[in-house]
Amino acid sequence: MTPNVSGIYRFAPFELDLAERVLYRAGSPVPLTPKAFDTLVVLVSRHGKIVDKGELLKLVWPETFVEENNLTQNISALRKVFGEDNFIETVPRRGYRFIAPVEVEPAGCAEVVVPPANPPAPVKTTPINLGRWSLVAAVVTCGVAATVYVMDRVRRPAPPVRPVDSLVVLPFVNLTGTPEDQYFSDGLTEELTNAVAHISGLRVIARTTAFQFRNKNLDIRSIARQLNVSAVLEGSVRRQEKKLRVTVQLNDALSGYHIWSQTYDRGEGDVFSIQEDIAGKIARTIRPSDPPALAASSISDREAFNLYLLGRYHRAKPDAASARKAISFFEQAIAKETRYAGAYAGLAECYLKLGQQGVIPPLEAATAAMKAVDRALAIDPNLAEAHTSLAIVHLMVDWNWEAAERQFQRAIALNPNDAAAHHWFSHYHSVFGMSSDSLRESRKALELSPLDLQILGHLVFHYVRARDFRSAIQAGTQALEIDPHSQLVYMFLAMAYEDVGDWEKAIDESPRGRAFPMRNVPCSWPACDLEEQTATGASNVIFSPAAGNPTVCCSRFVRPGWARTNRPSRTWSRHYRNTNPI
């Protein structure tokens, strides 16, 4: 239990209240991270004295390995708070000293110390004055109370102030020092994200959004508010001479205190057990009464795993060249470990990406993706991402609606946190004019990945399809605040403005959207739902060389619900599949 310490340190115009853990400036609270606050307590309690960096690290991060730059960031944050008042002096090669005059209440609460590891050797005693001893005892008692206060705050994780129902795994910091090892820390982050995503009732932010906070020195509470999560997992990775150090910390998003932390010093080959241990401890921490059983990795070949991580690293990049690199790494991983279901699933995703970008013909992309998916599911029938890829092929290429719906439902049942599955399932519903269902899935995808421009842009599209044009305009405006250059958003905004009769804005937005090819919108199959005579005429317009992108030309003519009882004409289907990106 934290002792009831009521000490207050005053250094004009600031007041540091230990009991409330608040720094005030002229009576107004100043926001500080918990670790910055603890750093300040140590320095102020020893005002005028040099505090070694090593001792500061032991007090603020006891029993946890952290780099010195963490301390440097705390000092920098405190100096920003103090502004021109340079209260903290840097003593080269030693540490720091708080140099401002400090008033202490109650008197004697003056110093926080690291308790000695061993008791001092006995010394010869002499009689002392009892009155003087009482004063010394008061000073020592108060100093020890302050010490225990700080040590208790930083040593024992504070319980979460609310149940953990949502989580973001921030990109692990690569401390190895070489950019070539970035793939490993990124891969470990992604593997942990996928592992905890299977914890029932836990909303986990998708990688696309989480990785946008890489190298941003933001308070975790600020990140949590932006993503609306109740916990933040952060960590670091260092690889050196076949040794691996992984430091991980689960933080309560409201208070900033760590709920659980651990440092792993293992051989590089133990990366699988480290992943499983971290995921298991997170599960037991946030679901102590009913911890879920998480699937263990079936891969034991470390070299195959490294190749797989390299594949995922390049797959996450947007360009076609990176997708081809990813395919090469996934194939090398499979050569090392022939039953690597995850590598086969990665292959399928890369082929679909190349098909979507028009780099390879859609049928070629779909055939390669289907082959990889079949192999992945033969090895692991419960691999959610493989079911998502299979559903996309059924939806976008062979138009097997029943199979697409079945595969989307299976993928989401296996991993409710799969933002891509929800995103594409929204398109499936849009094909049939099921606006409420398409909007539900699109909003769910956005909840899991709130900074994903593809999801944001297509939410605008689904509002347009639902004829909720004002919501479409509002969503588009919010999306442009994240990326003011998104041609996808401009294109859908132009549609919304056109439908509300705001022709000036529609014309203003259209040139920005026109340069963006209309892809990945499965409900834009215009010739399908027209009367036969009209459909023939529409097809002539669609496929004339001057028409540009055919799906853009006639996306207005889709009649909701047609796809449930009809299939496109054979001629139109063959042309679409061979020419239009997935």
8-116+129-155 folds as: Arc Repressor Mutant, subunit A (1.10.10)
Question: Helix, strand or coil for residue 66?
Answer: coil
Q: Which residue has the tokens 């690889």?
A: 239
Q: How many CA within 13 A on the CB side of residue 186?
A: 22
Which whole-number Å values give the CA distances from 483 to 40, 207, 531, in the listed order? 38, 18, 40
Domain boundaries, the chain: 8-116+129-155, 166-286
The pLDDT value given to residue 106:
62
Task: Determine the Cα–Cα distance for residues 180 and 170; give it in Å rounded to an integer.
Answer: 19
Q: Which residues pair with 28 in a beta bridge?
A: 25
CA 274 remoteness from chain centre: 20
Question: In CATH terms, is domain 166-286 a member of 3.40.50.10070?
Answer: yes
Q: Are 361 and 326 in contact, with CB atoms under 8 Å apart?
A: no
What is the phi-psi region of residue 179: left when phi exceeds 0, alpha when psi lies from -120 to 50, beta otherwise? alpha
Q: Residue 301: what pLDDT?
A: 81
pLDDT in tens, 236-289: 888 877 788 888 888 888 877 778 878 888 887 777 788 888 888 888 888 776
CA distance 262 to 265: 10
d(CA 123, CA 383): 68
CA atoms within 13 A on the CB side of 458: 33
Residue count of the chain: 582
CB 88: neighbour CB atoms within 10 A? 19
Pairing assessment for the beta strands 88-91 and 95-98 based on DSSP bridges: antiparallel
Cβ neighbours of residue 128 closer than 8 Å, sequence gap 6 or more: none
Q: Measured between alpha carbons, how far is 78 from 76 in angstroms, rounded to an integer?
A: 5
Q: What is the mean pLDDT of each run of 10 residues along the chain (582 residues)?
A: 59 84 84 90 88 87 78 88 82 83 65 41 41 40 44 42 84 82 88 88 92 83 91 87 84 81 80 82 78 64 88 90 94 93 94 89 90 94 94 89 95 94 94 91 94 91 91 90 86 86 75 46 34 34 32 36 45 48 56
d(CA 34, CA 295): 35
| Cα distance between residue 235 and residue 247, in whole Å | 5
